[in-house]
Amino acid sequence: MTVHAIIGGTGLTELPGLTLSEARFIETPYGPPSADILRGQYAGNDILFLARHGHPHRIPPHQVNYRANLWALKQAGADAVLAVNAVGGIHAAMGAGHLCVPHQLIDYTYGREHTFFQDDIDHVTHVDFSYPYDEALRQRLIGALAAEGYAFSSHGVYGCTQGPRLETVAEIARMERDGCDIVGMTGMPEAVLARELDLPYVCLALVVNPAAGKTTGIITMAEIEAALKEGIAKVRAVLARALLG
C-alpha cells in the first residue's frame, strides 16, 4: 500500500477523518529537516506530513533544507510525495484562489543545495528530468479537482524563483515570455531531489496573488494571507479526495 507524504503548511493536517499517531524527528546526513515528520492514518492508509517552512512557519524558501526534508521522508517510509505550493499567477487564468496541477517547471533559483549526487560519490549520475511531475499522481489530483468542482488548470509551467523577495515586473515579463504560468519559490530543488530518490512527485499549486505587473496595485502580505486562508480549505478537500483514490 502506497504511503503518501504531503509537504506544505501545517494546516494540511486538518483533514476530516485523519488521525495523527506520531511525530518523529529524523536526523539526516544533510542536517535537520524543517520539522518533525507527522504520521497519520486516513481512510485506512498511512499518511506522512512535513511542514516545509517549519512549525511555526519561520524558514524562508531559500533556506529550506530540501535535501534533509526529502531524505527524512524517504527514511520514514514515503512512497510518493504530494507537494502543496502557494504561488503567484502569471497567466490570465491564474487568479487568486485558482488551483493548478503543473506539468512542467523552469528553475530560476541559485545557490541552493540541489542534488544528492555530490561529495564522495562513486560515479557521476544524471537523472532524467524531462517530465518533472509524476503523471499518475497528476491525473489523481486532476480527477479530485474535477470531482470537487473547483476552478483549476490541469496543466501549467511553474517558474521557481529564489526569494524571499517577490519578483519585479520585468522579471515576471521575462518569465511570461519563457512560458511560465505561475511563479513560486519552493518548487525546486524539491522536485528533482524527489526524482533522485525515486519518489514520484506532484505539485498542487494554489494561486494566492497576481504576479508583479498583473495588477494595478502592489502585492501585500495581507492579501496573500487572506487568499491562502480561504484557499487552504479547497486544498484540503482535494487532497482528501485524492488520497481515497
- Judge whether 1 is annotated as a binding position: no
- Judge whether 188 is annotated as a binding position: no
- Judge whether 186 is annotated as a binding position: yes
- Judge whether 28 is annotated as a binding position: no
DSSP 191-233: HHHHHHTT--EEEEEEEEEEPTTSSSS---HHHHHHHHHHHHH
Question: What region, left, alpha or beta, does residue 72 occupy, with left being phi > 0 and alpha being psi -120 to 50 degrees?
Answer: alpha
- The Cα–Cα gap between 161 and 167 comes to 8
- Judge whether 210 is annotated as a binding position: yes
Write down the residue that cell numbers 513560486 correspond to: 184
Proportion of the chain in helix, strand, coil states, percent, rounded to 5 = 30, 25, 45
- Judge whether 209 is annotated as a binding position: yes
Give how far Cα 151 sits from Cα of 35, 98, 163, Å: 32, 6, 27
DSSP state of 11: G
- Judge whether 185 is annotated as a binding position: yes
Give how far Cα 237 sits from Cα of 98, 167, 186, Å: 14, 30, 22
The four Cα atoms 170, 164, 208, 227 give a dihedral, to 10 degrees, of: -140
- The Cα–Cα gap between 162 and 169 comes to 15
Residues in the annotated binding site: 10, 52-53, 185-186, 209-211
The annotated binding site for substrate is made up of 185, 209-211
Going by the annotation, the residues of the binding site for phosphate are: 10, 52-53, 186
